[in-house]
């Protein structure tokens, strides 16, 4: 581990803590700068279009079917009209006239004609009264609103719109300007999916939308269109975005009944023009005080658009983009519904979106500062899922279209920057710590701790080892005339030799004990070159230590005056121990067991017997074929009831000369 168990910045060294603070501020600055220009692009119908459709769909699936709108009715020129009317579409004015008369008698408040006929039909029809019949019906009606279309013909100078045939516009409605009954019906805005509506054209505030004119006639009041709101005088305001559009809040079921599922509850009561035309004379309560939209809803019409609701009807999966189609007439009805209820979708302004993105970026950076890397990454994923849930909940409950992609992008960028910095810095810090730690701990122990984090704080592992205690004889008396600096130099010279030879024979120095040390063979893993007989490796190491110590005594050290030489006392014992971590706040990886205590107390026995290299019977039984022994004895060990047989090792049976390890230890400065 590169630092203590607590990861919080307060427990880190000051240099590391300053680095994390600087990285946090830098990451936050990058997020703020990157997402400031992007905040204006994150409209719910632009960057977040998929999420907008997902939220509309979720709300529709989770909500109970609602009753049709009480104020808006649709009279559709549908497929039944083509089946039952003998005349071609261009000659349907007589049918439309009878429908308008019936709606007028029934007390409809507004009759909205989403239908275009820019020229008289008598130039093509033999029946010259076709248009006159409709004109007469319009004269008997009141509050008829007509849809007009923006002209796409660049050669038509001075003609902004394609108007209905002027003879159809009745002038007896109490207003001087017949344009008060005209509104443009454009809904596509050049996109395949209709998500927003314009109250006026951006370059012509006098050009008012079809839906606006309908609501004005219904309320008998002007619609007030400001920079950020769209409302009928005295009524609720609908929020407008920076581009002057209103995000349409589509009613559940929009488009569904028209294009597949006939069992669905339609958001607007819809009647075929055939049924309305042939309804009994007299007032029809279905239309009293209602807004009635008349227009095309037949399958071959080109006035069909996609709305942001996923098409989950299995019969309609071939619609290409996976969204549900709806007729333009029903989209106009949704716009009117939003205006009447003041229920357009709310969407944060660009600066609010930017603050949300930056705020979530701060949260992610804080998670990486407070938690470990993997835990913080998991927490960021959880925070992203939570934000998506908040977005769906706010949409379904309050009609708020919170941004999704922009905050997720900010979370991803801030997490990537901060997580990448921590990953790189922790790797650098890990190397620095390991480089320092490796000088205080055997590398194999370090490797074991890194490879087995689960062992920290565990119960340990039982195994057989051979333990060495090495001590410098007469150390205190020998160095009493030396300065502290010379004493340390002499001690380090011998301890360095001990460490080199022990490691060369596969042993591990467990700890230094003043003028001696404790080492062991067999834990955590037996090295390949020592084989399973760790006792033999330990004995060979001790024989080489004796040779190396003799070499140090004879070595010419002109820089050391007076020369300092030591004899060593070595004791070995073999048995089973527990290998693992001990300690609470500060852990130490070591071996624990009676074997360690016995080996330590054999130092007293070796001193009493005046021998330099003493092994226990347990060790001797494993190496008897390889060593020569001298004095033998059964001795009492303090703290043990049974005596222990010990052997003095005088050399190797093979008579091997000084090994390369011993020679190298002597030559080392």
In this model, does residue 2 exceed pLDDT 50?
Answer: no
Question: What mean pLDDT do residues 382-403 have?
Answer: 91
In this model, does residue 397 exceed pLDDT 80?
Answer: yes
Residues in a beta bridge with 589 = 581
From 402, 437, 472, give the residue that closes a domain: 437
Question: What mean pLDDT do residues 210-229 have?
Answer: 84
Does residue 256 sit in the same domain as residue 382? no
Decide the pairing of beta strands 461-472 and 223-225: unpaired
pLDDT band at residue 636, thresholds of 50, 70 and 90? confident
Give the per-residue pLDDT at 221.
Answer: 82
**Residues with Cβ < 8 Å from 535, sequence gap 6 or more?**
466, 521, 572, 574, 618, 619, 622, 623
Does some domain include residue 221?
yes
Does residue 141 sit in the same domain as residue 289? yes
Does some domain include residue 49?
no
Does some domain include residue 444?
no
pLDDT digits (tens, 9 = 90+) for 508-540: 988 888 889 999 998 886 444 444 588 999 999
Does residue 137 sit in the same domain as residue 98? yes
Does residue 606 sit in the same domain as residue 505? yes
- Output the domain CATH number for residue 488: 3.30.70.1230
**Domain range for 232:** 73-341
| pLDDT top residue among 185 and 262 | 185
For the chain, the average pLDDT equals 80
Least confident of 331-335, 482-486, 531-535, 558-562: 558-562
Phi, psi of 132 (to 5 degrees): -65, -35
Domain count, the chain: 3
Does residue 390 sit in the same domain as residue 493? no
**Residues with Cβ < 8 Å from 329, sequence gap 6 or more?**
74, 76, 114, 293, 295, 296, 297, 303
From 278, 311, 341, give the residue that closes a domain: 341
Question: What mean pLDDT do residues 541-551 have?
Answer: 90
| Measured CA angle at 626 (ends 621, 631), to 5 deg | 65
Does residue 586 sit in the same domain as residue 604? yes
Least confident of 187-191, 233-237, 320-324: 187-191
Does residue 27 sit in the same domain as residue 167? no
Give the per-residue pLDDT at 203.
Answer: 72
Give the per-residue pLDDT at 167.
Answer: 61
Give the per-residue pLDDT at 199.
Answer: 85
From 382, 410, 437, give the residue that closes a domain: 437
Does residue 253 sit in the same domain as residue 142? yes
pLDDT band at residue 3, thresholds of 50, 70 and 90? very low
Give the per-residue pLDDT at 454.
Answer: 54
Give the per-residue pLDDT at 157.
Answer: 46
Least confident of 316-325, 457-466, 549-558: 316-325
Question: What mean pLDDT do residues 140-155 have?
Answer: 74
Question: What mean pLDDT do residues 180-198 have?
Answer: 78
Does some domain include residue 411?
yes
Does some domain include residue 67?
no
Least confident of 151-165, 219-233, 282-296, 450-464: 151-165
What's the burial of 146, exposed, middle or buried (CB within 10 Å: 0-12/13-18/19+)? buried
Does residue 309 sit in the same domain as residue 265? yes
Residues in a beta bridge with 184 = 148, 209
Question: What mean pLDDT do residues 198-214 have?
Answer: 83
pLDDT digits (tens, 9 = 90+) for 88-113: 888 899 999 999 999 999 999 999 99
In this model, does residue 666 exceed pLDDT 80?
Answer: no
Give the per-residue pLDDT at 180.
Answer: 79
Does residue 151 sit in the same domain as residue 175? yes
Does some domain include residue 445?
no
Least confident of 237-241, 375-379, 528-532, 589-593: 528-532
Give the per-residue pLDDT at 525.
Answer: 66
Q: Is the peptide bond before 547 cis (omega within 30 degrees of 0)?
A: no
Question: What mean pLDDT do residues 317-337 have?
Answer: 80
Give the per-residue pLDDT at 40.
Answer: 66
Whole-model pTM over 0.85: no
Least confident of 94-98, 419-423, 439-443, 630-634: 439-443
| pLDDT top residue among 276 and 229 | 276
pLDDT band at residue 372, thresholds of 50, 70 and 90? confident
In this model, does residue 441 exceed pLDDT 80?
Answer: no
Does residue 326 sit in the same domain as residue 356? no
Q: Reduced to 3 states, what is the DSSP secondary structure of residue 409?
A: helix
User: pLDDT exceeding 70 applies to what percent of the chain?
Assistant: 78
Question: What mean pLDDT do residues 68-92 have?
Answer: 92
Decide the pairing of beta strands 291-296 and 110-114: parallel
| pLDDT top residue among 476 and 258 | 476
Does some domain include residue 48?
no
Does residue 166 sit in the same domain as residue 193? yes
User: pLDDT exceeding 90 applies to what percent of the chain?
Assistant: 28
Does some domain include residue 399?
yes
Q: How far is the CA of 16 from the CAs of 24, 387, 428, 517, in angstroms?
A: 12, 32, 11, 35
Give the per-residue pLDDT at 665.
Answer: 44
pLDDT digits (tens, 9 = 90+) for 26-44: 888 888 888 787 776 666 6
| pLDDT top residue among 298 and 178 | 298
Taking the chain, what is the end-to-end CA distance rounded to the nearest angstrom? 33
Give the per-residue pLDDT at 230.
Answer: 78
């Amino acid at each position: 581990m590169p630092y203590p168990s607590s990861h919080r910045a307060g427990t880190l060294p000051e240099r590391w803590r300053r680095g994390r603070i600087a990285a946090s501020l830098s990451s936050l600055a990058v997020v703020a700068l990157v997402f400031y220009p992007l905040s204006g692009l994150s409209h719910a119908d632009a960057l977040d279009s998929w999420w907008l459709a997902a939220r509309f769909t979720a709300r529709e699936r989770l909500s109970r079917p609602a009753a049709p709108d009480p104020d808006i009715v649709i009279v559709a020129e549908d497929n039944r009209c083509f089946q039952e009317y003998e005349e071609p579409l261009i000659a349907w004015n007589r049918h439309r006239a009878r429908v308008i008369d019936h709606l007028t008698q029934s007390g409809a408040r507004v009759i909205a004609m989403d239908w275009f006929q820019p020229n008289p039909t008598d130039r093509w029809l033999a029946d010259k009264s076709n248009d006159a019949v409709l004109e007469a019906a319009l004269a008997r009606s009141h509050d008829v609103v007509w849809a007009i279309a923006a002209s796409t013909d660049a050669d038509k100078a001075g003609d902004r719109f394609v108007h209905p045939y002027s003879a159809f516009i009745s002038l007896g409605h109490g207003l001087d300007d017949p344009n008060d009954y005209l509104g443009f019906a454009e809904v596509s805005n050049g996109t395949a999916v209709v998500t927003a509506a314009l109250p006026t054209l951006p370059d012509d505030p006098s050009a008012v939308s079809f839906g606006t004119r309908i609501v004005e006639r219904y309320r008998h009041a002007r619609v007030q269109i400001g920079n950020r709101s769209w409302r009928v005088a005295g009524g609720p305001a609908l929020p407008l975005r920076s581009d002057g559009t209103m995000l349409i809040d589509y009613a559940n079921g929009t488009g569904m009944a028209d294009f597949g599922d006939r069992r669905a509850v339609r958001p607007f009561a819809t009647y075929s023009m055939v049924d309305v035309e042939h309804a009994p004379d007299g007032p029809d309560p279905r239309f009293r005080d209602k807004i009635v939209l008349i227009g095309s809803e037949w399958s071959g019409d080109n006035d069909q658009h996609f709305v942001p609701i996923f098409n989950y009807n299995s019969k309609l999966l071939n619609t290409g983009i996976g969204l549900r189609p709806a007729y333009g007439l029903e989209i106009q009805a949704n716009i009117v519904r939003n205006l009447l209820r003041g229920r357009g979708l709310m969407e944060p302004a660009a600066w609010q979106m930017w603050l949300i993105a930056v705020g979530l970026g701060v949260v992610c950076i804080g998670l990486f500062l407070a938690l470990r890397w993997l835990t913080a990454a998991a927490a960021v994923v959880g925070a992203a899922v939570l934000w998506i849930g908040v977005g769906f909940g706010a949409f379904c409950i309050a009609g708020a279209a919170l941004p999704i992609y922009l905050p997720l992008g900010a979370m991803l960028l801030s997490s990537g920057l901060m997580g990448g910095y921590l990953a790189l810095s922790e790797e650098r810090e890990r190397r620095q710590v390991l480089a320092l730690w490796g000088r205080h701990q055997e590398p194999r122990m370090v490797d074991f701790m890194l490879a087995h984090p689960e062992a920290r704080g565990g119960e340990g592992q039982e195994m057989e080892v051979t333990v060495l205690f090495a001590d410098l004889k007469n150390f205190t008396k020998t160095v009493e005339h030396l300065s502290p600096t010379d004493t340390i130099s002499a001690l380090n010279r011998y301890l360095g030799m001990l460490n080199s030879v022990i490691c060369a024979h596969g042993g591990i120095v467990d700890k230094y004990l003043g003028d001696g040390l404790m080492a062991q063979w067999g834990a955590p893993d037996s090295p390949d070159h020592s084989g399973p007989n760790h006792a033999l490796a330990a004995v060979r190491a001790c024989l080489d230590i004796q040779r190396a110590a003799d070499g140090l005594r004879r070595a010419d050290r002109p820089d050391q005056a007076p020369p300092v030489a030591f004899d060593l006392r070595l004791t070995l014992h073999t048995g089973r121990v527990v290998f693992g971590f001990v300690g609470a706040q500060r852990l130490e990886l070591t071996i624990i067991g009676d074997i360690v205590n016995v080996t330590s107390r054999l130092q007293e026995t070796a001193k009493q017997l005046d021998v330099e290299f003493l092994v226990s019977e347990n060790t001797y039984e494993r190496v008897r074929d390889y060593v020569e022994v001298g004095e033998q004895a059964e001795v009492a060990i303090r703290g043990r009831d049974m005596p222990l047989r010990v052997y003095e090792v005088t050399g190797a049976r093979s008579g091997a000369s000084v090994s390369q390890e011993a020679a190298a230890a002597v030559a080392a400065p």
